[in-house]
Amino acid sequence: MALKNKKENFSEWYTEVVQKAELADYSSVSGCLIYRPYSYSIWEMIVAETDKRFKKIGIKNAYFPLFIPEKLLMKEAKHFAGFTPEVAWVTHAGNSKLDERLAIRPTSETIMYESYAKWIRSWRDLPLRINQWNNVVRWEFKHPTPFLRGREFLWNEGHTVFATEKEALAEKEQILGIYKEIVEDYLAIPALIARKTESEKFAGAVFTFAIEFFMPDGKFIQGPDFHFDGQNFAKAFGIEFLDSKGKKQFGWQNTWAITTRAIGALAAIHGDSKGLVLPPEIAPIQIVVIPIYDDSTKKKVLVRAEKLKKSLETSFRVYLDDRDIYTPGWKFNEWEIKGVPLRVEIGPKDIKVGKAMLVRRDTGQRSAAKFSALGKAAEKILAEIQKLLFRKAQAFVNEHRHDAKNYAALKDALKNGFAKTSWCGSAGCEEKARSDLGAKIYILDEKAKGKCVVCGKAAKHIVYVAKPY
């Protein structure tokens, strides 16, 4: 089951590996993906680890309706304008036309804040920190790509309200810290955190920060994000309260999300010519045990393989592949495509010497371990794989990040990577980078220095400039 060459044709390789690894399949609705059990298991782990951290800092889960009346979307004009081209509408129930169009949730600010305005009356009701795990529909017309760009996807959306601006701003480090931990410690992907420009920020927000992923084809794709909404939505929806002095105030709000796009980035960044390469922390199956036998040794080998599985599954996610209809070689290939971090092989000769063979998915390195020490050996190898995958991904970022002190250097940098440079902050220079180079600007939290890479005037920001998805 040879795959396309990842370096020569990343796009074809990516769509092929997503299907052959059984992450996803296409549905009869264009742009709407079927999440197969393998990818959904990854998503469940992302949800579980993220949600655990949310709850630890006092965030509670809830669920709000999928359908949003048009009048609610119209309450926040800037927000609505930002999503108008992507909104899918319900206009009929059976053969009856609805009195008012219902939007299928593109995001939930409007439907949630109608309730927030009723629930919040006093400063004692704050902070209100609610999150929901759900699906959203954005009917965009760009070319759909599994996980990376689609019309329906899964995510969390956190919506919080605070009594003061200071409290709301303090949440940024908490939330981005959680997302960074998930991205780096579980997905083994370097988190490039930057602020969006005014033209790229979330509709209705004061500012947006996002974790960007640097992809193998040299482009940035947005990962988890955080939006400080100030009092924009509070004023539009009447989210106000009496402070401790009896004075009426508007709430200060944030919104934030991580999506199933992370699964696509995971596959794209770590995968190779054989298929997926999954970091052990997020792999649905960390160890696959493959027995090797003939008719005369089958029973003995399967008994020992089952014992090995039981000894390992107390600490690891383990699968014993004892299917008779496939050869060991076929199984090796299948689990390589699926990116299982560690393969344990056991046959009659291994039983005689009391050892099993361990094969790493990332490097292909083989090593033997005694049955009695198999757990410790596996633990060490899986920890090494997790660290190595992150180091490789970080090295790839570093190799393709270039300093650019002038426009010519910027052009060169974008041929095989992205640039770290300076920007004056003007919309004109941003538009030139977009129209001439097909690039976007991402603002870093670093002190400005030098001259703008586009116009040569004094810089206001240190930025990344990269081609986006």
Examine residue 141 and state whether it is found in any structural domain, yes or no: yes
Q: Which of 383, 412, 437 is the last residue of a domain?
A: 383
Q: Are 148 and 469 in contact (CB under 8 A)?
A: yes
CA dihedral 107, 111, 115, 120 (to 10 degrees): 40
Q: Are 371 and 308 in contact (CB under 8 A)?
A: yes
User: Domain with 426 in it: what CATH number?
Assistant: 3.30.110.30
Q: Where are the beta strands (DSSP E) in 70-218?
A: 88-93, 96-104, 128-137, 152-162, 192-196, 207-214
Spell out the per-residue pLDDT of the chain, length 469, in tens. Answer: 578 899 999 999 999 999 999 999 999 999 999 999 999 999 999 999 999 999 999 999 999 999 999 998 888 777 767 777 889 999 999 999 999 999 999 999 999 999 999 999 999 999 999 999 999 999 977 789 999 999 999 999 999 999 999 999 999 999 999 999 999 999 999 999 999 999 999 988 999 999 999 999 999 999 999 999 999 999 999 999 999 999 999 999 999 999 999 999 999 999 999 999 999 999 999 999 999 999 999 999 999 999 999 999 999 999 999 999 999 999 999 999 999 999 999 999 999 999 999 999 999 999 999 999 999 999 999 999 999 999 999 999 999 999 999 999 999 999 999 999 999 999 999 999 999 999 999 999 999 999 999 999 999 999 999 999 9
Residues 42 and 152 occupy one common structural domain: yes
Q: What is the pTM of this model?
A: 0.96
Of the candidates 144, 162, 159, the one whose C-alpha atom is nearest the C-alpha of residue 18 is 144
Sign for the CA dihedral angle at 236, 238, 240, 246 comes to: positive
CB hemisphere CA count around 63 (13 angstroms): 5
Quick one: pLDDT at residue 76? 72
Q: Are 289 and 311 in contact (CB under 8 A)?
A: no
DSSP line for 412-444: HHHHHSEEEEEE---HHHHHHHHHHH--EEEE-
CA dihedral 230, 234, 236, 238 (to 10 degrees): -160
CA distance 399 to 421: 16
CA distance 431 to 419: 17
Residues 314 and 347 occupy one common structural domain: yes
Interstrand relation of 287-291 and 128-137 (parallel, antiparallel or unpaired)? unpaired
**What residues make up the domain containing 441?**
402-468
Residues 248 and 192 occupy one common structural domain: yes
Examine residue 281 and state whether it is found in any structural domain, yes or no: no
User: Domain with 346 in it: what CATH number?
Assistant: 3.40.50.800
Examine residue 2 and state whether it is found in any structural domain, yes or no: no
Chain centre distance of CA 341: 20
Residues 6+ apart with CB under 8 A from 353: none
- Looking at the 3D structure of the chain, how many domains does it have? 3
User: Domain with 123 in it: what CATH number?
Assistant: 3.30.930.10
Examine residue 368 and state whether it is found in any structural domain, yes or no: yes
CA distance 161 to 169: 11
Burial of residue 196 (number of CB atoms within 10 Å: 0-12, 13-18, 19+): buried
Residues 261 and 152 occupy one common structural domain: yes
Quick one: pLDDT at residue 84? 78
Q: Which of 314, 348, 383 is the last residue of a domain?
A: 383
